[in-house]
Amino acid sequence: MKAVTQTHFTFPKQKSLYIGKVRDVYNIDDKYMAMVVTDRISAFDVVLPKGIPYKGQVLNQIAAKFLDATADILPNWKIATPDPMVTVGLKCEGFKVEMIVRGYLAGSAWREYKAGARTLCGVALPEGMVENQKFPSSIVTPTTKADAGHDENISREEIIASGLVGKEDYEQLEKYALQLFERGTKIAAEKGLILVDTKYEFGKHDGKIYLIDEIHTPDSSRYFYAEGYEERLAKGEHQRQLSKEFVREWLMANGFQGKTGQTVPEMTDEIVQSISERYIELYEHITGEKFQKADDCADVEKRIEKNVGSCLSSL
C-alpha cells in the first residue's frame, strides 16, 4: 500500500481545512471535525520527507480504542470512525496547552536532567535518578500548543498567571490527565507494557471539558516492554521500547535534531518498512489484536471520501 501523505477533500458543509504535522482536520459546518490521520511522520517538530504505510490506520484505530476505553473518565470528541484512517467527532475549542504526563525519567526529560536540570515545567525532580527510572509518582509537565514550530515547556503557575488557561479549568485538566494516565498504565500492564509518558489535549464544547485529538498512540506516548525492564535499568542498558523514540534516535545517530542547517538523513525503503513494522507491532501489543491492514485498494483517497461522506450525511 502506498503511503497517504496529503488529502484535499471537499466534504458537504465543509468550512475549512487545517493541515497539521500528521493530521488533516476538516471543519464541517462549525459543528463537527473529520480528522484524517495521514501516513506523514514528524520528529523534532519536522515532517519527514517520506510517509509510513499503515501508520495513519494504526494511530487512528489505537486512539479510537482508547477514547472508548476512557469515556467514563470524561467525555471525548469522537462520534464515529467511518474509515480506518478517519475519526469524525465534535468540534471543540482546544486549550492552548498540551498536558504531558511522565511516569519515568526518559526522552527529553532525561536529556535535560543529564544536562543538570532539577526542575521541569516547575516540577522539582529528585536527585540521583538514572535514565528510565520510575518517578515516585507521575508528574505533569505541560507545554504550549504551537500552531507551527516547537512547543515550549511551561509551568502550571505560568499557564494560570498568563491566563492561557483559567485556574479552575487547569486544575481539572491536571486531574483528568493523571486519571487517563493511570488508566493507560493499567491497560498497558495487562499487555506486558509500561506506559512511560504521554500527552493529552483537551477542549471545550458547550462549556464542558472534552478529551480531543489522539490518546495513547505511539506518536503521543512512549512504551517500554515490562519484561526485562528492571534488569536493563540495573545494568544501565537501553530499554526495549515501542514508541516513536526509535525514529528520533535514528535521526540523532545520523546528525539530525531539527536544528537550523541540519538535513534529514536519507529515508531508504528499508528504513520506511522497518518503521511501518514497528507501528504495527505496537498496535498488536497494546490492543492484543492482530492488525488488519485496510483494503489495499488502488485509490485510498476515494475510499476515505466515500466513507466519510456517508458518515457526515447521517449526522
Task: Show pLDDT as tens, one digit a residue, over the chain (315 residues).
Answer: 689 999 999 999 999 999 999 999 999 999 999 999 999 999 988 999 999 999 999 999 999 999 999 999 999 999 999 999 999 999 999 999 999 999 999 999 999 999 999 999 999 999 999 999 999 999 999 999 866 556 899 999 999 999 999 999 999 999 999 999 999 999 999 999 999 999 999 999 999 999 999 999 988 999 999 999 999 999 999 999 877 878 988 999 999 999 999 999 999 999 999 999 988 988 998 999 999 999 766 689 999 999 999 999 999
Query: Whole-model pTM?
Result: 0.90
Per-position b or e across 96-112, b if 16+ CB within 10 A of its CB:
ebbbbbbbbbbbbbbeb
Strands 93-94 and 123-124: unpaired
The domain limits of the chain are 94-243
Residues 6 or more apart in contact with residue 16 via CB below 8 angstroms: 26, 27
CATH number of 94-243: 3.30.470.20
User: What pLDDT sits at residue 70?
Assistant: 98
Distance, CA of 202 to CA of 219 (rounded, Å): 17
